[in-house]
Structure 1
């Protein structure tokens, strides 16, 4: 049973196996962004460096757009053939995409095939990412003791930040030790090759890991759902709405973790070297806060933790952004840390909550569809909207996007029943769970 206590050693193996894919995913996505300007004119030649970089960033965005497709195509496999098998497939695709990028010849060597292979690699990684989070979270939480699901589930978000930090550190190291000529010629390929190696190691871990007790129970009782996609839309719309209301936090998440250093640089004139250091400090503090928030949700319930982020953002997003219009480094750092800590209340709680919203037979599909739609619609577009508003001199107006989303989240979550520690191997629809 998924609720029975297990030894620490048995706990650790599923936790590491499940969270490792998120680590590789965010490392790969981070590396592409870090080195985009280095390989842009080699793979996407154009009449100017700016045009080459824009083509590269469009390819990056294509991977984001492919996430909902991955959720639709791959998530049902987690409910039909097992969590473990889907985890093996997603990390194989992610690592394979990195390997393809690392060995693709330049445009001068193979012509238009070079950008075509890059696009194929990014689409493959995007489809993989569309199934990785929910399958990894599902795997970790279904293995966790009932009274520690929040703590264990937070590991998937911790691993995401670790992947981002490794990508940033790898970029800083290579740019520091390699001359520009070598970095442009071959150095940028090294981190992608490392991504492929990490993917292979992750596949090794996942092939040796056990299947979850919840899916084993479904198999043993012959309760495998053959049409999980249809069942989710037919019977679990309310649970999907609740999950979407939680997942809209991706808008402030990407604003704070991706764009805020650039926003402070453009609005206040702070050097990028300072704002990026501040961003790294904030990410590290957020990463340390996530397990604590997950543990608090195990003790005091998911809903109180989940409400902190949208209430805090509804009240503070506008004053925070206004403060950054004329900020020194200390002000920027405090705003960045405060926002990241607010966001950690959702990040540290959501994996366990998502799993508790859906019955076992459609859990991977039920999580994947609304989460990846929210990520693509809001996470992928928020930095673009922020860039346009900042260029027009109205960067703080981004609060007009964050505040309504936060209020929507509060309204939906206020009506959500308590789901903490509900059995994960039953077939009780989430809508029947009472407070």
Structure 2
């Protein structure tokens, strides 16, 4: 049984046990919840302790790798410019669409109140300061203090500046620093896998508390969450089709047929990397030269996750709305920027592994609590399918777009890039 499946089953069992106790023995349910709460909180703390070093390491290695790829040639540079633009637009879509969906179909107030009461460790981080103070505070005077206080936006700004500075130093120093942060990233991912290995225990404890205090309303709330977040991902995915048709100058039906095999593999594997060979075949069906697809598709799999900013930001907005955190247009704008920036350093791993590290900085930036992520990670398997399908659809659409501009990139240059990559 896969790790995400074990965690999802533990969530369901925990909610059923908690809700059953709440229905038949309310006093016992509260007593059991008091015992289970510290277990769930301890597991959640173990998950959260990796966030700061992992976010910094991912940003440093992601930005340096992106900068290195951009220097590889005009085709790669043009691809990265397109990818970064789409990532920011993806986050903007979530900033507009998610509050709208939550107004059209709000989370029932009784369920929201019960869930807030169940997650006692999920207090609001604090009110977002006025815009002027906010921008003044994002430049950290003390980076150690910023890390200790989980000031993620300050950490992101410092990490980006540090990463770009690394690209300007000598090769020996650059390789040394990149290797160091790559090692930190890999170690933190090992720790996260260890924490997730015992995830069924922690998630069962958290779910038991939620079921005992929120009753059967918790099931409806989680279904509501899945539908809202997956809907945002679906909308971002649908935008790939006009990009392929208009930018890639191909017929809609032809693109649908070319993308369908990749989407099927993405649905079954939840891995963009596993879909790469099928995507290359799909690009060939769209008359994309291998000299182009052999460069852009591996690059897209490595750094381009089009649905990531939108769905990560949607989760943060959902949690903020759930806990009554006010979201002004300025707050949403800053959150969209953070969602796009953190996606640059994301890794090609199952959603349950990268879930908290990708969303916690966004949630903290807009003032939303991070603790609910420990519960929501258990149902990430379903939205993760939407993420992967959307990502591979955008990978093909972006490749079709870039191929129609390949006449500005000499094919011998693209061929040289392929040979350098061993293709």
TM-score scaled by structure 2? 0.31
TM-score scaled by structure 1? 0.30
Q: Which has the higher contact order (CA 8 A, sep 6+)?
A: 2
